[in-house]
Amino acid sequence: MLKSNILYIILYFLLFFVHFAIWQVLEIGFETTFVKYYLFLTLLFIMVLTILSIIKKIYPEYIGFAFMGLVMFKLMIMFLIMKKLNLGEVPNYKFHFIIPYLLSLILETLYSVKLLQINETADSRKDEKNQ
């Protein structure tokens, strides 16, 4: 299970480094805004993975509900933070900030699916033992 977490975190940071390289090649500027955005996005990403892992251990049947709630919370927080970070000042900010958000959401979704599959496998084993 720990290896799975590390894989998703490595993929996330790979996304960051690729995006930062593209950012530097295009010479957009606003590096401070970029780093602040990614720090916040990283905090949310790690929070989601951690909470889902905790939910898996305590209430494994509610992983899907927890994921949906966390996605709604993350979206709400992102709208609040976008204004504080002045993302609208960056040229083509929609491409530079929404795409990383969506890619991190895809990684979170894949992680949730993996947790659900593990939970389903464990449930089917329990059913086989009970019969």
Distances (CA, A) of 96 to 16, 22, 49, 56: 11, 10, 23, 33
Distances (CA, A) of 13 to 19, 39, 97, 121: 10, 11, 15, 30
pLDDT value at 5 more than 60: yes
Does the pTM of the predicted model rise above 0.85?
Answer: no
Contacts of 33 (CB under 8 A, 6+ apart): 85, 86, 87, 89, 90
| Out of 17-26, 75-84, 90-99, 119-128, least confident range | 119-128
For 59-117, write each residue's pLDDT tens digit.
988 999 999 999 999 989 988 887 787 777 777 777 778 888 888 999 999 999 998 88
